[in-house]
Structure 1
């Protein structure tokens, strides 16, 4: 894969000097204009990759916090076309690596060819599609490969012996799910993350980021001892949900604290 492929922007965001911080928000929550500013604020604060959720009516992998964000985005009349316009507005000011969290029906309805072509044009590095089983990826994979956009595989605590198959030919990064269930902050993560990440690393050289449940700098630092990066969603969306005058300041403060935790000397090597 050549360096101008969008997927490489994700892989290149994983550096040896610190662990990678991936922040999630829902496009259009609470408005188009505020979303653009939120993404730019996170990027300015050092967020390495920003995962943008495309609102969906039945987000089966998402908990109540992100479901509520989808409803606010729908109230702001955010469509898939509007999401691409939002990314175009971000791209006028920032080249921060981006990925989409999107449910398959949105991509299907938009048209696979058209969707991936627009991703490539705007340098959206990859898609996380929670309701796309590995066994059915063949329907989408040719378009992802054509445009150099990663189909980011999800590895769950129950993946077990299927891990080598799931991450085979992975690009961008691998999304390791810390806990079963839907998204949302968790005070405890009981999965043997070290074992799961080790099994992923045995099967692929692509970086591994852990998500679901992480919300404090202390949690992020612990998880980063075994992973290449961490993904945080619900905690960021909660800040946005407050819709205060100082939301951008709070987002920057939070991202800075998370990035500092991941850049600590403790996490510079596994």
Structure 2
């Protein structure tokens, strides 16, 4: 165990996300983090899907809060957000959903939300309610680095991690600052552009992972475009600590009937778990 990790444990500074990545790394396992949109197709089914993902091997779950102008999302997740909004999903309903699952949903939940809905809600009030509902982390894709310091202390006050994104186009100096502000893990965007399934992983991701490892000791989770066992194998081979799979899960939700959707998502999660556990 590294010295900084020993200090964190000694002083009880490890968050739930920290603990999850540390335990996985100790067992030489890759973190599997599905993304789904809360409220797609409705809040009740989202509740069932969350528990099914946990039962079928998800280590963490990234749960999206639907927003009308999702700049970082491709068509699949944009349509998912639209369906969720039409179903009446709001940030408050998402928190209420998670609060109802306390004691049942035990893996770390990381909320994904754009900044404007959180500001409209009241940022500190949102963090307090989310923390009380068991949320472990918060991803805000349109939060500028220059504004991150205003929010990171608030998030940390409520025992959550503020997780920031690094893109392939991020200059090295800025990458270092982003990674240092990011807690829990650094979210490495594998492609230039929006979310969505891709045919192959870009080789430059390996170089980005190596750069991030030079900067600090944050776990690195790779997202955007990951949808197959081959992608997962590449991410593991390149030394990342986790994979985030979004559009591939959301696509299965949209293409399944309400009767079958929970089982279909669970089956795909189990397949991705097997891929994540497959040693090269």
TM-score (norm. length: structure 2)? 0.90
The equivalent of 1:253 in structure 2 is 267
1:37 shift after superposition: 0.4
Identify if the C-alpha distance between structure 1 residues 9 and 27 changes in structure 2 by more than 3 Å, giving closer, same or farther: farther
Instruction: Select the structure with the greater relative contact order (CA < 8 A; seq sep ≥ 6).
Output: 1
Match of 2:244 among 231, 243, 254: 231
Q: TM-score, normalized by length of structure 1?
A: 0.93
Residue 108 in 1 paired to residue 158 in 2? no
Provide the C-alpha distance between the structure 2 equivalents of 1:113 and 1:6, rounded to a whole number of angstroms. 20
Which shows bigger deviation, 52-61 or 183-192?
183-192
Matches within 5 A, 1:184-203: 184-203=196-215
The aligned counterpart of 1:165 is 177
Distance 1:239 1:169 in 2: 34
Contact residue 10 and residue 126 of structure 1 kept, 8 A: no
Identify which of 141, 155, 158 aligns with 1:144.
Answer: 155
Deviations 1:4-52 (A, max 9, x none): 7455355446433310110000001011100000111111001111000
Structure 2 unmatched ranges of 5 or more: 1-7
Alpha-carbon offset, residue 89 of structure 1: 2.2
Identify the residue that residue 88 of structure 2 maps to in structure 1. 77
**1:24 counterpart SS class:** strand
RMSD: 1.6
8 Å Cα contact 1:11/1:206 also seen in 2: no
Change (3 A) 1:169 1:13: farther
Moved more, 147-156 or 230-239: 147-156
Structure 2 residue 114 is matched with structure 1 residue 93: no
Structure 1 residues 129-138 or 162-171, which shifts more?
162-171
Q: 1:8 matched to which residue of 2?
A: 18
Contact 2:164-2:181 at 8 Å conserved across structures: no
Give SS of 2:136's match.
strand
Worse overlay, 151-160 or 56-65: 151-160
- Give the aligned partner of residue 133 of structure 1: 144
Q: Secondary structure at the match of 1:47?
A: coil
Match of 2:234 in 1: 222
> Are the structure 2 counterparts of residues 139 and 70 from structure 1 closer, same or farther at C-alpha, using a change threshold of 3 Å?
same
Distance 1:54 1:88, change over 3 A: same
The count of residues paired between Structure 1 and Structure 2 equals 266
| Structure 1 position 188, deviation (Å) | 2.4
Equivalent residues of 1:22, 1:230 under 8 A apart: yes
Partner SS state of residue 30, structure 1: coil
CA deviation after TM superposition for structure 1 residue 3, in Å: 5.4
Q: SS of the counterpart of 2:101?
A: helix
